[in-house]
Amino acid sequence: MGHELSLSKPFLDTCYQLRASTLSIWAAKGAQSVSMLIHPQINPVALQLGPVAVHWYGLTYLAAFALFFFLATRRLRHLPYARLTHWNVRDVEDILFAGVLGVVLGGRIGYCVFYQPSYYFSHPLEVAYVWQGGMSFHGGLLGVMAAMVWFAKTRRRPFFQVMDFVAPCVPTGLAAGRIGNFINGELWGRQADPELPWGMIFRGAGDFPRHPSQLYQFLLEGLLLFAILWIFARKNRPMGQVSAVFLMGYGILRFVAEFFREPDAHLGLLSLGFSMGQWLCVPMILAGLFLYFAVNKPRDV
């Protein structure tokens, strides 16, 4: 009757791998065994419904959008939006729709432009091959900003009033995405000291422990940034300051996390020993600082 819903094998495989997630290995020099964590090779397919496969990574995107909607509807109760009668749930729905387009298009185009411009210039059709992977947060941010420009103009609202509304609702989505990266065993960290208790061996990254940088980013750019923004935005701030704190906060936290994340193999470290991700954070931090001190007038509501 219908398609068979198959959950058991991926689930059981994951359970077995989690139970065996520690391994004693011998150091290359000496006869001392070291206990290390091994990344559980989780099946990327969360469930299989006939020929349709639902991937964990897709579910993390769905969770990100659901969290945004949940938080944004509660953001309507914060000042100044609680006093602005033209802000309502319909606005949240429209912002989410426009934001999804901005994230996907901006994230993909940004990756192609920032990380592999020469390759995609020679293979322009592959820009659309999103299933091959390759998304950039900084490109996604630009895409979302463009989408919010459209929303602000069509609704005749100040751009930074829109961005201040959106900013505190974004970090939980970033956190969900980092969990997806960890499940997939991708974007792993740099080599770690073998003594590091949470150093982890990732498939395809050699037999030495690495920093689980996806989890660092989950904690920093996700949970910590969310807490900072949510608390900061609860008070009525000058228009643009919440956006400024987001720019500074994400830029600084991502810059720090990049010291533990393995640079892209085809780029390596760039000037001053910084990665591409770190260099893309520099203008974010500077723009946030400028905006924070430039908008010093009380918000007129």
pTM to 2 decimals?
Answer: 0.80
Average pLDDT, the chain: 85
Residue 151 lies in a domain: no
Question: In this structure, what token pair is assigned to residue 288?
Answer: 């946030």
Least confident of 27-31, 267-271, 283-287: 27-31
Mean pLDDT over 220-229 rounds to 97
Least confident of 34-38, 115-119, 261-265: 34-38
Residue 94 lies in a domain: no
22 pLDDT tier (thresholds 50, 70, 90): very low
The answer to whether 301 and 257 have CB atoms below 8 angstroms apart is no
Residue 148 lies in a domain: no
Of the two residues 127 and 63, the one the predictor is more confident about is 63
* The predicted structure's pLDDT at residue 30: 34
> Which residues are CB-neighbours of 72 under 8 A, at least 6 positions away?
92, 95, 96, 165, 166, 169
Output the CA torsion sign for 126, 131, 137, 142: positive
Residue 108 lies in a domain: no
Residue 95 lies in a domain: no
> Which residues are CB-neighbours of 179 under 8 A, at least 6 positions away?
60, 214, 218
174 pLDDT tier (thresholds 50, 70, 90): very high
pLDDT higher than 70, residue 11: no
Residue 209 lies in a domain: yes
218 pLDDT tier (thresholds 50, 70, 90): very high
Rounded to whole angstroms, how far apart are CA atoms 235 and 245?
Answer: 13
Q: Whole domain around residue 196: which residue ranges?
A: 5-86+157-294
Residue 227 lies in a domain: yes
> Which residues are CB-neighbours of 115 under 8 A, at least 6 positions away?
134, 136, 264, 266, 267, 276
Of the two residues 49 and 252, the one the predictor is more confident about is 252
* The predicted structure's pLDDT at residue 17: 53
Residues shown for the chain? 301
Question: Cα(first)–Cα(last) distance of the chain, in Å?
Answer: 59
Number of domains making up the chain: 1
pLDDT higher than 80, residue 124: yes
Beta strand residue intervals within 169-209, DSSP E: 200-201
* The predicted structure's pLDDT at residue 297: 59
Angle at 21 between CA 16 and CA 22, to 5 degrees: 135
Residue 147 lies in a domain: no
If you search the block for the tokens 């004693």, which residue do you land on?
A: 24
Q: DSSP code of 262?
A: P
10 Å CB burial of residue 115 (0-12, 13-18, 19+) is buried
pLDDT higher than 90, residue 239: yes
Least confident of 4-13, 48-57, 87-96, 107-116: 4-13
